Amino acid sequence: MSKLHRIPVTDALKVNYDLLRSLVGVQGIDWIVVRSNPNCESRAAESLSAAGLIAWLPMLPVLRKNSRTRNEFDKSRPLCTRYLFVALDRYKGQSTSEVVVCDGVEKVLSFDEENRPHIVPKAQMRVIVEQCWNAITEGNLSKVKHFDIGAVFGLLADEFDGVTGTVTGYDEAKGIVEGLVPMFGREMAVKVAVDKVKAVHG
């Protein structure tokens, strides 16, 4: 069992997540994925917000102890390394041209030849929001050591926590799980270390 640091559930935290849940369902708002420059996730989020855009950087709460002094210090990290989410309001005419000029932003995620921004399905955004909320408030991530072909697994930590996929291969000697995962609205083949996945039952 891997434990994350549990964050006190304050009124402000509840309000922030309630607002985020509401925004995911608002008609006319498209959620896109932004890739930041290396180690610039927070800078990109701040720059996007300063430009009047809604930016969300999901974080995993991690608390470490100094082995010598035993003092605790915050080592929280982005849920998705170098990736954050931006809500574009079509009714306000917001576009990716306002995103790519922000400090810390490398590019907007796209899967087609015309370089159109990929819109994250609302259902998947809801999953990501709730998984991040659970990580913050519950602080538990289960790790497994074996997977059968056809079994369902969920991604952890540096990947999209809670996004599920189907096992297509498992190299027990190397500790690698291969599978198909619906990522950003399309099915993608992945290879993930066994300590970065969890079994999903039911």
Mean pLDDT, 10 residues at a time, the chain of 202 residues: 53 82 91 94 96 90 73 75 93 95 94 85 83 74 54 65 77 74 77 74 52
Query: Per-domain residue ranges for the chain?
Result: 7-138, 142-199
Q: pTM (2 decimals)?
A: 0.63
CB of 156 within 8 A of CB of 196?
yes
According to the model, what pLDDT value does residue 13 have? 74
According to the model, what pLDDT value does residue 148 have? 65
Question: What is the assigned CATH class of domain 142-199?
Answer: mainly beta
According to the model, what pLDDT value does residue 158 have? 52
According to the model, what pLDDT value does residue 84 have? 93
CATH for the stretch 7-138: 3.30.70.940
Cα separation, 176 vs 199, whole angstroms: 14
Domains 7-138 and 142-199 share a fold: no
According to the model, what pLDDT value does residue 164 have? 80
